Structure 1
């Protein structure tokens, strides 16, 4: 009986060690392995975005934007950018490159972001919530990103502070947002993407690291718009 008990004890201890080892390996190697995949896909999205930047705007579009910028009429420029933003949405599908996100305070974040926040899209890079607006439409623009896997684009989202700048470079213009505040919310809190009467950017990521128990949110307000005319 003692021998059986001894054997069972050893078996349980061994199983426990293997489980802990498996967890450790997952935490240590899941990001490097997924990063290889995402690096390849980001390269593909870089090429897709370059093509989009060359082909999205027609000569007529460029002329319209240049005229609106020259006249310095915010309402006209806003209307023109809004139409182009909607056209980009209409022509995009999940996983397609939309633009570039730059956030120096987030460990120098500089990546192509894509349409969609489904699992497959977020493996490619930060993803735009399709139910929210696009930059230039005067409403809430929301983007999500991983913190521990697939290049972990939003790993340092908690380093953002009031006044930090986030830039979204789109095929039709550049939009700069200034951080207003950060919050930790419940994953079910959909209020974070509601419209507020002005254009704002919302960044979302799981919190804490290696957990989906909460969401770390960054709220930023649009402070500068530069239409793409060349």
Structure 2
């Protein structure tokens, strides 16, 4: 009897040392599942899904929105050109110096209403974007727009500050390449009335609450403006809202829509309607 008790005690010990020999046909040991292990696998899976979503949001969806925004801007530009051609009289257009002061649109546009197209060659092919009144998400995150006009700032061609905003990344990234601007680069704004050619001058980096960059004379709201400038604002650095990158330009010239786009971009604009 003592011998059996010893055997009975020994068998369980041997089984614990080799617990899963019979679990697999080849005699290998299979690990036992645990709550901690399952939870870990679920967390890893969730992490992968989150990364995939972020990738879709920041790259794939961004590319789709960028394409749709540029197509919508092209359509709007082409519509204005066709309207101008239909209304144009047989009389020849005056020379460029005869266009006079820039026409300034005084229409009171509602929030989200498109009134202009921005095209910056430095931003690359397909960079044209529609500009609408307002800087809310309904404008900046729109599949049809992408650039918003700060209410109470000036309009294209007007003395003062025509200030606009767009995302730097995601939702079409209308100003994704803003930091690549170089002195003298063209910033072209088209409206129903004509083309306004601004030339880039310089950058500034500010905190999100530095709103005096939107003043008619940036940082000097007490001064009366004498120049016609444009201010582009976007988040900085990429994928962050910690600060704002601000790009300033000065109006160089303007011409009516019926005169066609400036020679510098005529070929690219012609391709929009194809």
TM-score band, normalised by the shorter chain?
0.7 to 0.9
SS at match of 1:81: coil
C-alpha contact 1:113 1:128 (8 A) present in aligned 2: no
Show CA shifts across 1:80-105 (max 9, x none). Answer: 713xx11xx32x32223222212122
SS at match of 1:51: helix
Do residues 120 (structure 1) and 148 (structure 2) align? no
Q: CA deviation at 1:50?
A: 3.6
Return the alpha-carbon distance in structure 1 between the equivalents of residues 47 and 184 of structure 2. Answer: 42
Show CA shifts across 1:105-134 (max 9, x none). Answer: 223463232223110111222222222111
Do residues 101 (structure 1) and 118 (structure 2) align? yes
2:182 counterpart residue number: 161
Query: Are residues 119 and 168 of structure 1, via their aligned partners in 2, closer, same or farther at CA, if it must alter by over 3 Å?
Result: same
Query: Are residues 221 and 23 of structure 1, via their aligned partners in 2, closer, same or farther at CA, if it must alter by over 3 Å?
Result: farther
Do residues 51 (structure 1) and 73 (structure 2) align? no
Number of aligned residue pairs: give it: 212
Match of 2:245 among 199, 216, 221: 216
Return the alpha-carbon distance in structure 1 between the equivalents of residues 95 and 254 of structure 2. Answer: 15
Determine which structure has more spread, i.e. the larger CA radius of gyration: 2
* Structure number with higher helix proportion: 1
Normalising to structure 2: TM-score of the pair? 0.65
C-alpha contact 2:175 2:234 (8 A) present in aligned 1: yes
Q: CA deviation at 1:206?
A: 0.9
1:202 counterpart residue number: 231
C-alpha contact 1:134 1:141 (8 A) present in aligned 2: yes
Return the alpha-carbon distance in structure 2 between the equivalents of residues 195 and 56 of structure 1. Answer: 31
SS at match of 2:128: strand
C-alpha contact 1:129 1:144 (8 A) present in aligned 2: yes
CA RMSD, 1 decimal: 3.3
Do residues 33 (structure 1) and 50 (structure 2) align? no
Return the alpha-carbon distance in structure 2 between the equivalents of residues 42 and 159 of structure 1. Answer: 19
Do residues 81 (structure 1) and 103 (structure 2) align? yes
C-alpha contact 2:208 2:242 (8 A) present in aligned 1: yes
Match of 1:189 among 199, 207, 210: 210
Return the alpha-carbon distance in structure 1 between the equivalents of residues 152 and 45 of structure 2. Answer: 43
Normalising to structure 1: TM-score of the pair? 0.75
